[in-house]
Chain A
Amino acid sequence: MPEPAMGALAGPVSLSSARPWLNRERLINGLLLMALFASPFIAQAVGETYYINLASRIAIVAMAAVGLNLAIGYGGMISFGHAAFFGLGGYVAGISAFHAFDMSLLLSWPITLGGSDFMPGIWLAAMVLCALLALVIGAISLRTSGVYFIMITLAFAQMLYYFAVSWPSYGGDDGLPIYLRNQFPGLNTNDPLTYFLICFVALGLSLALCARLMRSRFGAALTMARLNETRLATAGISPFPIRLVAFVLSAVITGVAGALFADLNGFVGPSMLSWHRSGEIMVIVILGGVGRLYGPVAGAILFVLMETLLGGVTEYWMLFLGLVLLGVVLFARGGLMGLLAGRARHE
């Protein structure tokens, strides 16, 4: 084979022989995304504005699940504590809005810092804090594996939960209302459709990031860390730092989703940190199809629709969620994407 030219025209250097650009999975992915994108506009047109917020909710929980899917599906790290990052992101939005609202200081030492309702700043703060938290949790939890890892991530999230419940400054058990939704320069975030678009773009970016990431060298190493840790080490790459960085990135994505979620609901409380929330995000990943890029989107649509439709019929809708989940785990392991798009493609 001649030395191939680099760049877009480097045809011969591909991993495998021609794969069609449009396959069934990509078609399904596009349809899911289009359906999610179109639904609030349809709701707007027919005057059912309640459903716009529902679409925002789907986009946000899908994004949280995209984050978790990076850890579980691509990294093989079964984190049962992602509510910690979801809730931390939420509290960053809530606390910042709280101080911006009553113009008090958030910090007086070592620097003075007031609140802010500037969304990009809040997201950045949520990302940084979630990254730091994930660095600590990951560094301790990743020393272990298997069932220990599951329980330790759960325990760390519980630690934050109980801290939020018993720390009185920001509402404790009662949570913290966000009276005025945080602002994005040039946009009216109070308009449901505008807010949906913000959430949708955030979801799109997180999907694009994951897709790109998993095709990179880092993604190749992470895949090998999941499939065969010994092989990765023998190839000269230490698995621990690869996993840790993936865990941190996963937490950052879930954390931003948490900040968006708090603004959507105008409220943040310990329930965002509870282990039910961790379980819920995990359920969304699995309902959709673990390790599939768009699995979280499919799972979030299914979950929120079940919650809304069944929840409208019976107050015991979680009973049916439990039965569906049990059915998926026992009999349909590929989740919704597995049913729609067939078995996962292996490279």
Chain B
Amino acid sequence: MSEAVLELRNLHKRFGALQATRDVTLDLRPGEIHALIGPNGAGKSTLIGQIAGHIAPDEGQIRLSAEDITGLSVAERARRGLGRSFQVSSLADSLSVLRNVMVAVQAIQGHSFRFWKPVDRDASLIEPARAAIARMQLSSRADTPVSELSHGERRQVEVACALALNPRALLLDEPMAGLGPEGSLKLTELLETLKLEVPILLIEHDMDAVFRLADRVTVLVSGEVIAHGTCDEIRTHPRVREAYLGD
């Protein structure tokens, strides 16, 4: 699949006796939201860790825009355009929204070894950061410390941080977790417009959100892909029903 932005090829990962990832192959194409679902303990976290670069796979390859990134560090993958958000909010709480996002802008503009020019007067940092915040509809909160934000707003900041990287692909780890129906709906709408610019690999527990958003779905059980296809195909897939409903 040459047009794929992000490709996983035959990933394997074993922790002692536990096969956490077994021969996982999937791809993410331009303009789509590809959802990765699976019951608890399916190995989603391990798989995300491997894509983002926290965990090294035992075998297999990860490619971003046809470039092999398997051996790269977290920071190098981010610079090459892999944006991600975390399941548990991972922001610097004492800093403002803008400051959090600016760090990501700084990274893609090259190295951070600039010791003299103050960042608070650096339009080349502030403008792209404000733009990313605006895309997540958070402009009014840009100067607020993250610690004062609601849960849903923090999720939006996470995505804004990822967007500031000008990513080629977004990896969103349960962005809906902990959001009320209203916050969930708002984020869903934002992601629907976002996917046209950046394809999204969405790891999500909230099935309603998945079936509303996803163009394609991959189901992971016990570290293994048991099914993939469109939402309708997945809904009726016997092995998925077995895994989720036990019938």
Chain A residues engaging chain B, CB cutoff 8 angstroms = 1, 4, 6, 10, 13-17, 212-213, 215-221, 223-224, 227-228, 230-239, 241-242, 245, 346-347
Contacts and interface: CB of A to CB of B under 8 A. Distances in A.
B119 A216 contact: yes
Contacts of B96: 15-16, 347
B201 to A, nearest CB: 15
A241 B76 CA distance: 13
Nearest to A215: B118
Contact of A347 (B52, B86, B99): B99
Given A231-B91, A237-B75, 19 more contacts: A10-B121, A15-B120, A15-B126, A16-B96, A212-B115, A215-B120, A216-B115, A218-B113, A220-B102, A220-B119, A221-B106, A227-B92, A230-B86, A231-B161, A233-B78, A234-B86, A235-B161, A237-B106, A346-B145
A228 B91 contact: yes
Contacts of B98: 15
Interface string B60-103: 00000000000001111011000010100011111110111011
A269 B154 CA distance: 54
A220 to B, nearest CB: 5
B99 A220 contact: yes
Interface of B: 52, 73-76, 78-79, 84, 86, 90-96, 98-100, 102-104, 106-108, 112-123, 125-127, 130, 143, 145, 161-162, 164-165
Contacts of B94: 227, 346
Contacts of B102: 220
A204 B222 CA distance: 61
A243 to B, nearest CB: 12
Contact of A217 (B84, B108, B114): B114
B116 A15 contact: no
A227 B103 contact: no
Contacts of A231: 90-92, 100, 103, 161
B103 A232 contact: yes
Nearest to B92: A227
Contacts of B106: 217, 220-221, 235, 237
* B75, B76, B102, B130 interface centre (most CB from chain A within 10 Å): B75
A239 B96 CA distance: 20
Contacts of A228: 90-92
B112 A218 contact: yes
Contacts of A212: 115-116, 118
Contacts of A15: 96, 98-99, 119-120, 126, 143
B114 A216 contact: yes
A233 B90 contact: no
4 nearest CB pairs, A to B: A236-B107, A236-B78, A227-B92, A235-B104
B162 to A, nearest CB: 8
Contacts of B108: 236
A213 to B, nearest CB: 6
A235 B165 contact: yes
Contacts of B93: 227
A217 B117 contact: yes
A13 B99 CA distance: 13
A217 B92 contact: no
Contact of A234 (B78, B112, B123, B127): B78
B145 A234 contact: no
Contacts of A238: 73, 75-76
A251 to B, nearest CB: 16
Nearest to B77: A236
Nearest to A11: B121
* A10, A14, A232 interface centre (most CB from chain B within 10 Å): A232
A216 B125 CA distance: 11
Nearest to A17: B143
Contacts of A216: 114-119
A221 B121 contact: no
A17 B96 CA distance: 12
A311 B165 CA distance: 57
B184 to A, nearest CB: 23
B119 A14 contact: no
7 contacts: A1-B130, A6-B123, A217-B113, A218-B115, A236-B165, A239-B75, A347-B99
A60 B127 CA distance: 41
A347 to B, nearest CB: 6
Contact of A14 (B74, B95, B114, B120): B120
Contacts of A224: 92, 95, 103
Contacts of B118: 212, 215-216
A347 B91 CA distance: 14
A223 B115 CA distance: 13
* B76, B100, B106, B164 interface centre (most CB from chain A within 10 Å): B106
A234 B161 contact: yes
* A14, A216, A224, A235 interface centre (most CB from chain B within 10 Å): A235
B73 to A, nearest CB: 6
B90 A230 contact: yes
Contacts of B79: 236
Given A15-B96, A218-B112, A233 B125 contact: no
Contacts of B130: 1
